[in-house]
Structure formats: C-alpha cells, structure tokens
Structure 1
Amino acid sequence: MLSQIDHVILATADFEAASQVWGERLGFRLTDPGGHAAYGTRNRAVPFPKGYVELITIVEPEVAARSPLGQALAAAIAGPERWFGFALASSDIEADVAALRAGGSSATEIMR
C-alpha cells in the first residue's frame, strides 16, 4: 500500500546553479552530491522531516540514453528547469505500480 510521497524530483541542466539557489539563496541544507552510475546522473537532496527534494542532472549522456528513465530525464533537461517526477513509499511496490499503470499512470521502472 502506498504510504507517502518519499521525494519529488527537480530536473536541471545546470546542477551547480540549482544547488546554489536551493542552498545559498533559499537557505536549505543540501546533501553532498551523489548519483546513479547505472543512469549516468548526478544528484543531491534537500532533506525535510518526511521526505526530500532531489536535484538531478545527467553527467554521462551515453549511459543515460540506455534507460527509459535516463531518456526521459534527457528530454526534461533539454528545456527549462522543471519538476520531473516523484517517488512513493510503499509496503508492496510491485502491486502498487501495477495498479497505477492499470489506472493509466506512466510509472517508470521500480527503483529501490
């Protein structure tokens, strides 16, 4: 069962500028940069008590191009910075994703 929004994802072509806005200008604490090697991305989080905002960009376009998630992110960062997606917390993720897709959602692959 879906229990909460785990995090929301902000796609940005200019990772350093987005980090500066969220950290220095807005005053939020950011985690150190990390990434998803399998997707060619770089990210960092803006933590909140019950979730976080994930700032994400592509650093290895050839790796990102190999997955639907990477392809969608590449399309997103080709335009202006925007909200890209969200992640949900679930006690039965496979069943919840199947139900979301059956209802017309374009839920992407399950990531743990």
Structure 2
Amino acid sequence: MLTALDHVIIGVNDLAQATSVFSEKIGLVPRGGGSHRSGGTANRIILIGDTYLELITIQRPAEAQQSMRDRLAKGDGYLNFALSSNDIESDTREMVQRGVSVIGPIPGQLKASNGQTRGWSRTHVERPDLAQRYPFIIQHDSTGEEHRFRLAGWTEPPPHPLGAVQILSVTIAVSNL
C-alpha cells in the first residue's frame, strides 16, 4: 500500500556547494548519501521527519539519463518526488490491473562512502511522452529508525539549525489536466 511521501528530489550541479548552501544558509543539514551503482549519480540526504530531500548530481555523465543532463544544464532545481510503498509488488500489480503501464519493480542500491550499501525497489509509470518516468513509488530495504539511521549515513540523523521541520503537504501545479 502507498503510505506517504517518501522523498523530494532536487537536482544540483555541484553537490558540495549545495550541501554547504543547505546547511549554512538554509539551516537544513545534509548527511549520508553516496554513489548510485547505476545511473551515474551521487547524492546527499536531508532528513525531514519521516521523509527527506535528496540532493542529486551527475557523477558519471556517460551513465546519466539524457533527461537529467538536459534538466541540470538549465540549472539546479526540483526534479521529482517518490511515494513510499510497504508492498511494492502488490502496488505494482494493482497499477497493472487498473491498466497503467509500468516499469518495475526495479532494484536499486547506493554505496555510501563508508562502504555500506542500502537498497530499494521502485516502480515507474511508463510514459513514452515524458523524458523521465516520474513520479515513482519506492520500497526501501529498511523502515523506521533503522531507515533514518541508514539515510543519515549509518549515524544518528543530525538536528537542523533551522529547528524541527516537517513536510505537511506537496502541491503539484500543472498547465493542463
């Protein structure tokens, strides 16, 4: 079942600079992250309650999606979001039964700088008319405090200088329904 907003993805051209800006100027401390084994990307994580912001950059351009390279050529900014699933196989089957064309579940993995890995499965809505297949659903290989611990780089999630924060809602604006 889909359970919540999992995370919001923010594309950045310079991960070190974005980490500094979010931490020092905005008051949200990025931690954890690492290199994705596929897709040519690397990230840092900003934990916000039970969800997070993912700062993502292209690390290996030859492996990155063309749509991501094109988007980041226009500058830093919002890329995407993902919804949490606690049973991605069932959610994927339900989507297919309702006539939705999907890609997945696809396993994914991230290797942290400390050598540890965390994994997930994700399912995308197949839309050939879109450059990227988003939003998507995701199920991580951990939950609760263990999940937060892993996202923070196998350490306690840091407090934010901004104070306690949470994401209350997400609004999606479209030009044409």
* Paired AA for residue 95 in structure 1: R
Pair 110,89 (structure 1): closer, same or farther in 2 beyond 3 Å: closer
Residue 75 (structure 2) pairs with residue 80 (structure 1): yes
Shift of 1:56: 0.3
Alignment match, 1:10: 10
* Paired AA for residue 4 in structure 1: A
CA deviation profile, 1:61-86 (whole Å, cap 9, x unmatched): 1121xxxxx22221211112110001
The correspondence for 1:91, drawn from 77, 82, 86, is 86
**TM-score of the superposition, structure 1-length normalised?**
0.77
**Aligned positions of 1:35-74 closer than 5 A:** 35-64=35-64, 70-74=65-69
Q: Aligned residue pairs: how many?
A: 105
* Paired AA for residue 35 in structure 2: G
Pair 73,2 (structure 1): closer, same or farther in 2 beyond 3 Å: same
Alignment match, 2:165: none
Alignment match, 2:154: none
- Higher RCO (CA-CA < 8 Å; seq separation 6+): 1
Contact 2:82 2:137 survives alignment (8 Å): no
Contact 2:12 2:75 survives alignment (8 Å): yes
List runs of 5+ in structure 1 lacking aligned partners. Answer: 65-69
CA deviation profile, 1:65-109 (whole Å, cap 9, x unmatched): xxxxx222212111121100011111343236545946xx64457
List runs of 5+ in structure 2 lacking aligned partners. Answer: 102-124, 128-132, 141-177
Q: Percent identity?
A: 32
Structure number with the higher helix fraction is: 1
Comparing 71-80 and 91-100, the one that deviates more: 91-100
* Paired AA for residue 28 in structure 2: F
CA deviation profile, 1:3-58 (whole Å, cap 9, x unmatched): 11100000111222211111111122211341202111110000011100000010
TM superposition outliers: structure 1 runs of 4+ over 3 Å: 95-102, 105-112
1:32 alignment partner, SS class: strand
Contact 1:57 1:73 survives alignment (8 Å): no
Alignment match, 2:151: none
